[in-house]
Amino acid sequence: MIIGIDVGGSTTKIVGVKDGEIRNPMFVTAKDPVTSLFGAFGKYIYDHSIQLSEVEQVMLTGVGSSYIQQPLYGLPTARTDEFIANGLSAQYATGLDRLMVVSMGTGTSFVKVEREKIRHVGGIGIGGGTLMGLSRLLLHTQDILWVSELAGKGNLQNVDLQIQDICQTSLPGLPLDATASLLGKLDNNVSPEDLALGLMHMVLQSIGQAAVLSALEMGIRDFVLIGNLTQLPVRPVSYTIAQMYDVRFIIPANAEYQTAIGAALAYIKENRNKSGKVIGLIELVSIGESFVSVISAAGCQPSGKPGFPTAPVPSVHPCLPRTVR
């Protein structure tokens, strides 16, 4: 079994890959990344009766993985770049050769995938952290799922200024219900339900618009949404933006676990040879430069950038069966 782990600041997501299947995605929260990681791994192997001898490789990624400088429980442990993991998993999940990954976590990153090339092209400081901070300030909660439930009872027309509020006819490419100003009607009389919906819509629309604009000159029409914010009602917002710009937004299964899945895929792709021999779970047809850095008892082996590779990513194959247990 190969175990992929996405270590965040306080949340760790973990998946197993065995016999061509993604198995038992789960997450654990804690006050710090090290506690979160060890808690997630321990719970994962205990809950699913996994013996340490069954684990071929542990693959780490995510911002919190930089805190880990020793092998996990003495197992072969390596780390891969989060952007590479996002690109590999999105390409695997969709089977597309050309796409933009929109990773919606604390903030949001944009990763361009074009066949064998995976490149981080930018991002914005708007995401789950924004929604949590504003909810804490204005709604006195940081429970995002409760905010989402509250928003389900809200009316966006009470908080957002729309084109129809300032113009009697639609503008070219802008229907009357398009947003003219996010939170433009906000005042002291706003209900908690309307405020929750307004905050959530502001974050999601900002992300969607920024993603499309980041790819405007690239000719990319497929945007794959991953990360924790995909658990919110993203579809109505993405549908409106998709219609406006003639693009597609895709939310894969297990969207919040895609980075952990990508970490496992990075190891699978690394283990190949020139003959195209099947090694592990997939057929790998060529040798590329390394994009996995190995963590040993002596610490992380340098590869240009501490802990991460600098080499380009080899060609990607949508290689695993798309089944989840």
Output the DSSP codes for 257-325: GHHHHHHHHHHHHHS--TT--EETTEE---------EEEETTEEPP-SBTTB--SPP------S-S-B-
Query: Which residues lie below 8 Å from residue 317, measured CB to CB, with a gap of 6+?
Result: 269, 282, 283, 284, 285
The whole-model pTM stands at 0.81
Domain boundaries, the chain: 2-81+257-300, 88-255
The CA distance from 234 to 155, in Å, is: 16
Q: For position 294, what pLDDT does the model report? A: 54
Which CATH code is given to the segment(s) 88-255? 3.30.420.40
Residues 39-59: b if buried by 16+ CB within 10 A, e if exposed? ebbeebbeeeebeeeebebbb
Please state the CATH superfamily assignment of the domain spanning residues 2-81+257-300 in this structure.
Answer: ATPase, nucleotide binding domain (3.30.420.40)
Residuewise pLDDT in 10s, the chain (325 residues): 999 999 987 789 999 998 878 889 998 887 788 888 888 888 999 999 999 999 999 999 998 888 888 888 889 999 999 999 999 999 999 999 999 999 998 899 999 999 889 999 999 999 999 999 999 999 999 899 899 999 999 999 999 988 888 888 777 877 888 888 999 999 999 999 999 999 999 999 999 999 999 998 899 999 999 999 999 998 888 888 998 889 999 999 999 999 999 999 999 887 753 344 433 333 332 223 444 545 544 443 333 332 322 223 323 333 333 333 3
Topology agreement, domain 2-81+257-300 and domain 88-255: yes
102 contacts 300 by C-beta, under 8 angstroms:
no
